[in-house]
Chain A
């Protein structure tokens, strides 16, 4: 008994210690907006004088964009010689684990990319540096993009790039089947018709890929059909017949029209390799694929892009990233300077020239477009006019999980439409209500 008591005492002490620590850290971060304790030895010596050399860390997840980001950083250093920016790449999954841990520990990278999936979590916990109106000229960026990263009226990041979704198609397969390439006259019927004509199951060639993807999968179809994922009054859009019809249409590619491999097939092989190896005539994906496909020795001369086919209306999905700053950085001035620089035309031109993503700053898209003279990449920019911002809410991580497990089961044919949609709508509403 005595031993048990003393053990419990130890437990309590430890808990108090841990809990105490984390509360302490939270308050510190919130009250002052920065942390005085030194987190990183390399930064210690920078406090004495403003012009002492400062090194900022800049965390990103896409290796393809490392060079572009380094170019932006170099241009910034040219204007601010005492500040260097070190770009560091962490793979997508670990990126978020790490960012979360560093946010709890008040040791976030000074600058980092933010994604719509995770934005609300960091914004609501005041981990992101607010972008005040005098820092950047918001009118230079598309309103949809700004809205994606605005929480309670404040913008929490400098729009970096945007992406839209288009049809990627294999010209060789079209030529072989004697079909005309997709263009802006296409509607859903035409899409199915041509996909069927291109499908050659015996040789393992499919007309149109329908993998389990939302943004570059069934979302555009939902909006083309007049549906929505989240209604204006904040409820699940999956209760709407327009939404259901569109999702049904999307997965009909597999089961009814038989122009797409199954979800399982794509889970194993991915759309990229299937497309690259010439087994897929069309699939829809985002502008972020342009750089790697255009440099791919196999597919580079064989593919092109086209606008998405029209449903009841035209729609694509646009999403984007921001350059965000850590609210608790030790170098708020330098980070602010960097973010201000990141919002200039110059930075976006540099970024655009690096080719990895379409720069967000108005009229700088042409620098990106010019990089791909052999392709019809203008469509990505054109589609911005009618693109719908990527649907998201603060509880996206939760309802996204329900959405994916339900619709995956629907897409494999395991769940019937009359079971899947009411269940999904109800579960999503429950989660959305709690927001």
Chain B
């Protein structure tokens, strides 16, 4: 018995070591980002680089804060995330349910449209979607930002995987009672997939947050842009001030990080096939 414990301890130790090494690898670029953000411009391009800032320059954060209209950017990013999440939740949960649990002719053909969207490179959508937004007169607005993400192929696929995992017997009783699928969806499945929807929401939010090209194309002014694309626009044609860009990135990552930390528990539970436990 004692021996087993010993073995277990060694196992734990190995696992711990690997996790810590992995964690340090994950953290290292962040450490470097923060270190760079604290350096003066001169020091940031020093050859060879200094490991720790010779003098700590907090004014980079000041500069970054002044360089971009962060209040607008936070607002736009949050609005974009809110609407994208809202639409993704509504459309993807319904479609995911239909593809995962309802038998209907043409289901596979229609589902293949979802897969096709996922297979297509996003670059081919930019110009046509721009034309649609322009025709509709939505350029330079939050609507323009939200538009390409009104529906989510990724979300539909994800929700389909969830619903497919739920055992058949859960709804059998309801079907015998003569309930239609929409009622089952609303009364049984949606409550079951509450956590799943949180997961979908977080993924949608992350993708919206990371979107780079579309906000730059659809919206002209900095005041109408999102955090990620505004940071990309800091890189001018000729110049890059690393410390300022790093500071700006640091300022920009907090909302998403907080969102993740707050919802972490739901998030992980959410991706699990909660249904199969019942």
Interface residues, chain A, with chain B CB atoms under 8 Å away = 3, 18, 21-22, 38-42, 57, 59, 61-64, 86, 88-92, 94, 97-98, 100-102, 104-107, 109, 204, 272-273, 276-277, 279, 288-289, 292, 296-298
Most B Cβ at <10 Å: residue of A3, A59, A86, A98: A98
Task: Decide yes or no whether B232 CB sits under 8 A from chain A.
Answer: yes
Residues 198 to 247 of chain B near chain A (Cβ within 8 Å):
213, 216-217, 220-222, 232-239
Instruction: Give the docked Cα–Cα distance between A48 and B109 (Å).
Output: 51
Instruction: Give the docked Cα–Cα distance between A64 and B67 (Å).
Output: 12
Interface residues, chain B, with chain A CB atoms under 8 Å away = 40-42, 45-47, 109, 126-128, 130-131, 134-135, 137, 139-141, 213, 216-217, 220-222, 232-239
Q: Which residues of B contact A289 (CB under 8 A)?
A: 238
Q: Which residues of B contact A298 (CB under 8 A)?
A: 41-42
Q: Which residues of B contact A277 (CB under 8 A)?
A: 42, 45-47
Contact A288 B238 (CB under 8 A): yes
Please list 10 pairs of residues, one from A and one from B, whose beta carbons are closer than 8 Å in the complex, sorted by A's number.
A88-B220, A88-B221, A88-B222, A91-B236, A94-B216, A97-B217, A105-B135, A107-B134, A292-B239, A297-B40
Most A Cβ at <10 Å: residue of B130, B140, B235, B238: B238
Q: How far is the CB of A11 from chain B (nearest CB, A)?
A: 13
**Partner among A61, A109, A272, A288 whose Cβ is within 8 Å of the Cβ of B220:** A109
Q: Which residues of B contact A62 (CB under 8 A)?
A: 236-238
Contact B126 A63 (CB under 8 A): no
Instruction: Give the docked Cα–Cα distance between A40 and B139 (Å).
Output: 7
Q: Which residues of A contact B131 (CB under 8 A)?
A: 21-22, 101, 104-105
**Partner among A38, A97, A288 whose Cβ is within 8 Å of the Cβ of B137:** A38
Contact A64 B47 (CB under 8 A): no
Contact B42 A297 (CB under 8 A): yes
Contact B233 A89 (CB under 8 A): yes
Contact B127 A272 (CB under 8 A): no
A100 nearest CB neighbor, chain B only: B127
Instruction: Give the docked Cα–Cα distance between A273 and B137 (Å).
Output: 43
Q: Which residues of B contact A21 (CB under 8 A)?
A: 131, 135
Instruction: Give the docked Cα–Cα distance between A298 and B139 (Å).
Output: 42
Contact B235 A105 (CB under 8 A): no
Contact A101 B130 (CB under 8 A): yes
